[in-house]
Amino acid sequence: MTPNSNPPPKDDQYENIKSTSKLFLSAIALAFVVYLITLLPGTQQLVPLTPVPFAAIITAIVTLSIVGALLMAASSIASIVQSTIGSPQAVGENAASVAYWLVILTAIGLAHRGLSAIVLPYLEGLYWTYDAAFLLLSITALVAIAVRLFAAIDPSAELIARSVVGEPDRTGRDQSQTTAQNDASGSKEDTA
């Protein structure tokens, strides 16, 4: 850092985005390195006394690392979304919750895919239990997403209407009727 350069901002949002970005970049780099490791000779050989190849164990370890990083980053991502959207509060909270549960759903999907090679060989005919367990977890996250999306409809529609038209007339009358009555009363006062 040069003496004339300004230090980066120290606020929470900056640090939150920086740490979340590091987690995601680390996960991507780790996944790429594991892919390269699985290409090495001998990694497709079975671990002695097991039906699992070495590559599957390496993939499972990395999968657990990435899933852990996603679970740690979920609340940070939610707070970033909420602070980005801002107001109205109901829209920001619902969007943050949807972002949180989308990250959780992604982690569940990655865990299902990455752990299957070491779990399924031991289930022998009961493969459906593996899928059923992850389906249950996925449905829980999906229901949470659906609930928050539907909860956000009214506040979002109000936000859109306000941004297009402006604030509504709270008297319950049409704006054009109010304007016409104001003009009529104004002309009566002029004649009196």
Longest dimension (CA), the chain: 105
Q: What is the chain's pLDDT, residue by residue, as a tens digit (192 residues)?
A: 444 444 444 577 788 888 888 888 888 888 888 888 888 888 788 888 888 888 888 889 989 988 998 998 898 889 888 888 877 788 889 999 999 999 999 999 999 999 998 999 888 888 899 999 999 999 999 999 999 999 988 888 888 888 888 877 766 555 545 554 555 555 555 554
Inside any domain, residue 67: yes
Counting the structural domains of the chain, the total is 1
> Which residues does residue 68 pair with via DSSP β-bridges, in sequence order?
none
Compute the distance between CA of residue 95 and CA of residue 86 in angstroms, rounded to an integer.
Answer: 10
Considering the domain boundaries, does residue 190 fall inside one?
no
Which residues, listed in sequence order, are joined to residue 53 by a DSSP beta bridge? 46
Domain that holds residue 30: 12-41+51-164
In three-state secondary structure terms, 53 is strand
What Rg do the C-alpha atoms of the chain give, in angstroms? 28
Residue 86 placed within a domain: yes
pLDDT of the residue at 64: 92
Is residue 186 situated within a structural domain? no
Amino acid at 154: D
- Kindly state whether residue 6 falls inside one of the protein's structural domains: no
Strands (E), the chain: none
| Rounded Cα–Cα distance for residues 39 and 187 (Å) | 87
CA distances to 39, 105, 112, 142, 151 from 119, rounded to whole Å, are 21, 20, 10, 24, 38
> What is the reported pLDDT for 183?
54
- Residue 8: the pLDDT is 42
123 in any annotated domain? yes
Quote the pLDDT of residue 141: 95
CA distance linking residue 38 with residue 58, whole number of Å: 8
Q: Does residue 29 lie in a domain region?
A: yes
pTM above 0.75, yes or no: no
Is the distance from CB of 103 to CB of 77 less than 8 angstroms?
A: yes
Domain membership of residue 192 (yes or no) is no
pLDDT on residue 99: 94
